[in-house]
Amino acid sequence: MPAVGYEVDGEIAVLTIDYPPVNALSLAVREGLEAGLSQARDDAAVRAVIMVGGGKTFIAGADITEFGTEKGNSGPSIAKLEGILEHFPKPTIAAIHGTALGGGLELALAAHVRVAVAAARVGLPEVNLGILPGAGGTQRLPRLTGVEAAVDIMTTGRHVPAADALALGILDEIVAELRPGAVAFARQVIAEGAKFQPVIERNEKLRGVDPAVFAGLRKSVAKKARGKIAPMTIIDCVEAACGMDATAGLRFEREKFHSLYANDQRPALMYYFFAEREARKVPGLTAEPKKIKSAAVIGAGTMGGGIAMVLANAGIAATIVDINDEALAKGMATVRKNYEISVSRGSTSQAKMDAALGLITTATDYADIAQCDIVIEAVFEKMELKRSIFAKLDAVMKPGAILATNTSSLNVDMIAAATARPQDVIGVHFFSPANVMKLQENIRGEKSSDQTIATVMALGKELGKNVVLARNCDGFIGNRMLQYYTGEAEFLLEQGATPEQVDRVAEAFGMPMGPFTMRDMSGMDVSVLVREERRKTLPPGERLSPVLERLVQRGRKGQKTGKGYYRYEGREKSIDPETTEVIEEVAREYGIERRSFTDAEIEARLFAPLVVEGAKELEDGTAIRASDIDVAWVNGYGFPAHKGGPMYWGERYGLDKICELAFEAEARNGPRWAPGPLLQRLAAQGKGWKDA
């Protein structure tokens, strides 16, 4: 089967791109398109050309697997094909279904006309790979949509639904059926003898743009970019489109593309793109997932409500169960409020909110959920409570229903042991707020069946989450590592760093907020409770810094009490001398000498412990691959994707240096901080995670 099929339908040549899985613009596709266009030009009977995708989608972009390879650099470039399309002597029509992304949309923007089915989406997501739409996208898109919409689309990488794309001028028409609609459109164009001005020559929307618009865009985009350079470079290119002629603008875009391509953020983000996809795959797992049509959520708290929203958003009917109507009414009010906020922000529509709310029901009786395909328990982190719930579920749920727990730290096997069907029990850990955070950490119990695992992995994808699979252990993949990050942050305070300095370094690194600001926000008393448990299992010779507990004893519980590590006046935070006093008091008590730290030292001390613990997770099988750990940390904890994730970062930082830091931490903090045998071996041999 050729990558691009050629057939003639009346007076219309139809070029069908057939290159699974996503019709990426690989060498074969680019060559096929060039040949097809040439044939259509030479065929006197052909009066218009349609480009359409075979299978489930239009073109999803350049072929990322060919980047930087000989294939990638051979054959006609996307820009060359665009030149051919744009100046083609007969009308060219892109007929879009599925997604037209990246180079795929850029190619479509060079066609004379774009039609799409209503379910199609278009976008320029290159920013997620650390690059920019380098095949003319930054120059053509603003010519259709105007500057602000183009910057929004390209700096977020979002997929724009067809109806919005039509309103923005990206599409010319929505057709009911893909090929017949495109053919009818082409016939009309032929009949009318319509002439089209190439997009690159349309300058109306670029004229007279106030420079203040760019200043405003830079300010708002910089806030969200958190150190990513591609979004800012995209704005430079759009500004160039306004200030230069088309040829100079395209040249400017090319130069900027190459400079981004050469930056370290690009390989990190490309690694990360494939890491997310790899994480969905479980070696050796061949079981067919069960279809989930209905679900129940136990617990109407913030977490339970959020999980119900996630399910309903994906079209799955969800029943929330709690002990009484009052708890359910309170939970539903929060769910409703969350949807209303989304509608007011424009991130969802009233129709979608109504449809989702229509799928959420409530119940106080477990008998009402007995026929659900899955039940997700989301109550307090108390083992006995969870075990009693699972015993009840075991008694009522239909055979084969998946019994999932949303625990963030408890032993999944102990929960499963409360039932007579441990093969159906599994951990499905969402992050708070569940309807926003993209991670779904699935935790396989000792006895979880392959089909149970396959089902929750597939469910995660359906829910739009990034999934990873962990083995049952204390804290699983993510939280097990988190305690070392926050733990070292606290030790740094005792040794002389300030909360503000540590937070500043973490944020400059790309974390959404530093560890102390995070604690102040989530409530320090909550952390104290978690640590009370942890203290019970600490090995001899190991301690936790008592600064947190001392602050809480003084009534400093975080933002909610107006003071935590910081003092708060409204949203403004400032350093509080009382915090410094407590830190100094602890340092004196433990005989710790205080000194100043460089930012680089703090950065290494904060992030190296993640790598050390991550290596132990690989060693004991908690995580399947290093890249799964990266997926968990990027999606669950906001680790910057442009640094690839902690394991990718650690390998580039140097596993030998990480190992050294771990030995120092062991000497300072206790035995749990020592590097494991795997890390020591890789460090000594100068090897990386692929050799683990």
Q: Which of 531, 524, 415 is nearest to 479 (CA)?
A: 531
> For residues 101 and 307, which CB has a smaller minimum distance to ligand CAA in the complex?
101
For residues 218-277, which are near ligand CAA according to CB under 6 A? 277
From 21, 346, 540, 555, residue interacting with ligand CAA (rule: CB under 6 A): 21
DSSP string, 264-295: THHHHHHHHHHHHHHHT--TT--PPPPP--EE
276 DSSP 8-state letter: H
Q: Which residues pair with 115 in a beta bridge?
A: 95, 173
Give yes or no for a contact between 584 and 640, defined as CB atoms under 8 angstroms apart: no
| Angle at the Cα of 337 from the Cα atoms of 336 and 340, rounded to 5 degrees | 90
Residue 135 binding ligand CAA, by CB under 6 A? yes
Contacts of 16 (CB under 8 A, 6+ apart): 4, 5, 7, 52, 53, 54
Question: In which residue are the tokens 């403004």 written?
Answer: 572
User: Is 572 a known active-site residue?
Assistant: no
> For residues 102 and 515, which CB has a smaller minimum distance to ligand CAA in the complex?
102
From 92, 99, 479, 545, residue interacting with ligand CAA (rule: CB under 6 A): 99
Residue 60 binding ligand CAA, by CB under 6 A? yes
Question: In which residue are the tokens 């180079």 written?
Answer: 103
> For residues 24 and 682, which CB has a smaller minimum distance to ligand CAA in the complex?
24
From 102, 305, 499, 645, residue interacting with ligand CAA (rule: CB under 6 A): 102
- For residue 555, the minimal CB distance to ligand CAA (Å) is 49
Query: Which amino acid appears at position 629 of this protein?
Result: I
Q: Find the catalytic residue in 82, 86, 106, 253.
A: 106
- For residue 277, the minimal CB distance to ligand CAA (Å) is 4
Q: How many residues bind ligand CAA (CB under 6 A)?
A: 22
Stretch that binds ligand CAA, among 95-103, 161-169, 259-267, 650-658 (CB under 6 A): 95-103
> For residues 41 and 158, which CB has a smaller minimum distance to ligand CAA in the complex?
158
Whole-angstrom Cα Rg for the chain: 28
> For residues 46 and 178, which CB has a smaller minimum distance to ligand CAA in the complex?
178
First to last CA, the chain: 40
Binding mask 106-125 for ligand CAA (x = CB under 6 A): x------------------x
> For residues 136 and 305, which CB has a smaller minimum distance to ligand CAA in the complex?
136
User: Is 106 a known active-site residue?
Assistant: yes
Q: How far apart are CA 428 and CA 441, in angstroms?
A: 6
Stretch that binds ligand CAA, among 98-106, 191-199, 203-211, 505-513 (CB under 6 A): 98-106
From 17, 29, 100, 101, residue interacting with ligand CAA (rule: CB under 6 A): 101
Stretch that binds ligand CAA, among 102-110, 313-321, 497-505, 517-525 (CB under 6 A): 102-110
408 DSSP 8-state letter: S
Give yes or no for a contact between 50 and 108, defined as CB atoms under 8 angstroms apart: no
From 53, 133, 487, 640, residue interacting with ligand CAA (rule: CB under 6 A): 133
Query: Which amino acid appears at position 146 of this protein?
Result: G
Q: Are strands 113-117 and 92-96 parallel, antiparallel or unpaired?
A: parallel
Q: Residue 305 corresponds to which tokens in the numbers above?
A: 């409500």
Q: Residue 655 corresponds to which tokens in the numbers above?
A: 């596993």
Q: Which residues pair with 670 in a beta bridge?
A: none
Residue 62 binding ligand CAA, by CB under 6 A? yes
Catalytic residues: 106, 126
Residues that bind ligand CAA (CB under 6 A): 21-22, 24, 60-65, 78, 99, 101-103, 106, 125-126, 129, 133-135, 277
